[in-house]
Structure 1
């Protein structure tokens, strides 16, 4: 099945500027009247919100490790079926992933191959000139499955510098679609888990307009659009990534609780569930008419004092948990625990519903895919249910009940290494540090 055209914007490494380029392209083409849809490769839950702001349409994740072929096809078909152009953004370097069978590594290249999308490389050319062509040539030849059709130069120092880089590209026959000069004003604010969230970024629309202006002036947009190719879908069956945990879901949603995969929420709605949002930061309890409460990840460590003082929220949450399921992912899990230590060393009491204490002061990065099997049945599935998810946070567990009978799941990493237990379960309350992407 062939659908609307798409392309993948990727880079040889993180920090090359691909998010800046993607957002600028999306906004520039959208304001020309094209229906543009964004897609993010891999498990990033921040960038899709920026895509949505740039295009005015939802953006979803595509993950070749965590998602089945039918689920990938279903999500891509939804994006390409309602657009004039899909602009997908890679994650990390183009080929960076895990050690798995070809096509299931989680790398951006897998997604380009699966859907027949050509690759546009964003190259940070600071610090070299003609040698940038060697990097581009390596990307073009490393994996014969993909087709690198052009490059966008970033952080060009001068017109002379640009000409030298272009000379190198001419030697390998790779078109230069444009070049961006060094400009600190085009960067977006960041914090410890990546970009500051779209909903928190000041004057986001103005920033996106400036990015679009920069792309209009630096990149041959007509030529770039012409390089896109029809999206190829080989398998799709309307697969739901995660069955809804209830019919009416109370979803915490504010600056402290915002890390939810868009494809998960869309799947719940398509399955007939209703999602009712509330704000713990506004001291709102879970709506009483709901049959399950979901606390997603986010930045509770940045708002720990305010959350600790949200007594109506905590009282309502504890009352809700007496008769209905409550689940927390990452930051939500931390809030369900006994206490949370912020970055200044201040310890704040939390909901006290799970036997865990966490600290952001004792920082340690935890990053990677998680393959989990539930210890007990609950809102995420029956005992033994396999879930594939991702963990990315800097919090440490300072106190925890290690007993297997109180654990949420048994987990492995992407290569099958045993990581022991993850999270906790007490009564109807469950939680863990990993964000579920799909059932396996």
Structure 2
């Protein structure tokens, strides 16, 4: 969400930021719509003042025994016109709000320009891919070979893009989630939260999924929405509030299922667990002092990276280009894990600094002690990590020639006495 006053004062900067995202100029249209809204509002206020003045005249005329019919007729006419102006102003305000709500955040100055992912910048690569003495398999081949990953059963129950995990693989997924939560809450100071999985419209408007991405979401008959990520409820914990700046940053983590329709992804990752309608994710959210959000962004990314370091999985960190960033992001680091079965790096976490973009939408502010003025907080979110994709990475990187899976050392305390996962 944008401040219309800022757009009026900085139309060129606004349109230049949009151009970096490959979008056409919009400042003139926004300013024009806002001017009409303010004109209607001003006209209403002027009529209100005149109506008040005429109402006094009516009282004075009646007190003197004079004829107030003409003045009363004029007041009635003003009342009708004021009702029309009020409806016009509300219509213009709604159109302006809808237009602004559909516009993405402007990229930070140091984000690389580019039309798509080909312009993303590799910042660092950590760990070397393992040299296999055999041709490594993809995760779904391994899981099905173990008899512990069943896509056919899931399809019978729910349709495409679902999976049933069994036995040691189900336990391995649970172990990964527990390991991540323990790390983020125990060592990195995130407060663990168990949030609702169903949210109202306003929560999704606040984080930017609505109105633009409605087709990507699942909604119930009761008009509650299944969360696409726990970023939604966690970030909204700061909504409609004024936070003491001394208490910032607020850091939250949660393990939740995430639900996505995957609209527009037909034909992409149709096999396996990479792109599903339901998946587990450990989320990281920070509500930060505006002056500290850049440092918080670096810290959050490092927390997500540490999961991969302890699992000894090779990965790289990318800075996304202007054409590849998400809707609400000002700047995004993607962490991509190496998948030997695919012979490729694949995204496993996105860590984004949204600046005050979401905070304006959800009215999340902060204030220094003893001061009256408030300012909008900065919000950040990141995967710490996507549990299903981490499971995929463990399977492919820890596979053995006979199709069994060695359990990473970091997960052994969570796996009972299981050190190698073999066919049931």
TM-score range, shorter-chain basis? under 0.3
Q: Which has the higher contact order (CA 8 A, sep 6+)?
A: 2
Q: Which one has a bigger Cα radius of gyration?
A: 2
* TM-score under structure 2 length normalisation: 0.21
* TM-score under structure 1 length normalisation: 0.21
Which structure has greater helix proportion? 2
